[in-house]
Structures are given as structure tokens and as C-alpha cells.
Amino acid sequence: MDRILAGVRLDLVSRKMAFPLDAVVESARRNGKNRDIRGRLGDGPGIIAEIKRASPSRGWICKDLDAAETASEYVAGGACAVSVLTESRFFGGSLADLSAASRVSGDVPVLRKDFLLDEYMVAESRANGADLILLIVAVLRRDTGRMVRLASEYGLEPLVEVRNESEMDIAAEAGATLIGINNRDLATLRVDLSTSERLLPKAPRRAIKVVESGISSRDEVRRFRDLGADAFLVGEALVRSGSFAEGVRSLLGVENRRRSGMEG
């Protein structure tokens, strides 16, 4: 995590030198898109389908992944949102990927997934077409509340990510209404699905609850849906699926429902 954040800060310095905050803010204010994830959830589980080329734990997953093409397929498959990893050093992403996905997503909202640190990164998210941004409590700590308020000022919905009870308390205190429970330990990179089992009942009652990391099957979606999850952020399993649209449909159980209808 320290190495990742060090790289994020270095890249951020470079962008600030190239594009001053005033210019980025002006661009953000011109972005009139306001796509709401709540209207996309409906009665069933939502799949936030992620564009993810690489990860620190796996290395390259799909180096040549095309952001616009992948986003289009995710939307066709029924994703309630498209997540775009924009960190470049460890995840192989970019703000260009975010812009490309946003342009082809129609009415489906787009999440910028990165290690956001300050107002500049909030503003550039909006300027590049994001509707939602990831705010990681483990990174921001007590600054989470300020970043939640900044997101609102820019017309962005913050997905506030937690990994334990103390971080859940910080998210609740910050007024988060969209909470992501990350099953991956950011220190060891290990995935433990019991994290969501433990934390789902502790989320604020009216918050939308998103399970992140380690979800790869319809059975897991069904199990955590029964425990109170509203949506699931899925990246690697979809990228490796070979068919992005069908991968989303499989997690939603669409194909199973079609077969049942045909057999009936």
C-alpha cells in the first residue's frame, strides 16, 4: 500500500503541474452528466463491472483490454455501473480509460476506482466523466468526511470503502450512503469473504451496501444478497470470463432464468 500511494502522489504532482486545479475545476463544472446508481439497482442485485488490466497480487490480467469495448459489453450484459481502475503503475489504468468508458456507457453510471487523496483528484474524476468515486477509509482516515462533502459539491456519488468495524464507524460518521466492504486486506492482499459476512449487518440501515473483491459466481452473489448486499463490484472474474456481457449475465443469473422459462 505504501508503494502504491507513493506512486499515486508522484503521478499527481505531475498532473498538477501540467493541468492547474482551476482548469480542472472548470472542466469538471462543464460536465453535465449525473447518472445515479440507485435507479439502476431495481429489485435484484447490481453488478458493478470493473475494467481491470492488472493488480499488485496477480500482475497482468489482460494487458490489451480496451476500455470502451469492455464498458459497452458490460452495459449490454446488464451491469448497474461500470468501474474503471485509473491507477497506472500497479493496475495499468488511466484517466483516458475513464473518459472512454464514460462516453459509451449511456445511462449507466461510471465509477472511478483509484486512491483519491484530495480535491484535485475529485475534480479530475468529474472532468473525465465519472459519476461515482471510490473513497478508501484506510487511506483517508478522518479526512473521509471532507472528501465525501467534496464529492457532493462536484455532483459525484462517493462509494466509501471499509474493511473493519472502526472504518465502518468512520464511514457512517462521514454520512456515507453508499458503502463498499472490501474483502481484500490491503496490507497482505489476501481475500477473506468472511469480512463481508461480519460487516454487512453493521452498515448504516439505509446505506446501499456493495461487496468488493473475491466474488466470482452466481452462488456467491446469491449468498451475500441474502445477507443484505445490494450490489457487487467484480473485476478479475469478469475480465477472465472471456465474454464480458455473458459474464455479467451469469452473475445475475439471467441465463438460468432464461433456461427455466424455456423448459417451463
Known catalytic residues are 50, 52, 113, 161, 182, 212-213
Pairing between β-strand 54-55 and β-strand 59-60 as defined by DSSP bridges: antiparallel
The residue among 107, 113, 35 whose CA lies nearest residue 67 is 113
User: Under 8 Å CB-to-CB from 252, ≥6 apart: which residues?
Assistant: 44, 45, 47, 77, 78, 218, 221
- DSSP 8-state symbol, 138: H
The neighbour count for residue 41, using CB atoms within 10 Å, is 15
User: Under 8 Å CB-to-CB from 30, ≥6 apart: which residues?
Assistant: none
User: Angle at Cα 114 formed by Cα 108 and Cα 39, nearest 5°?
Assistant: 20
End-to-end CA distance of the chain: 51
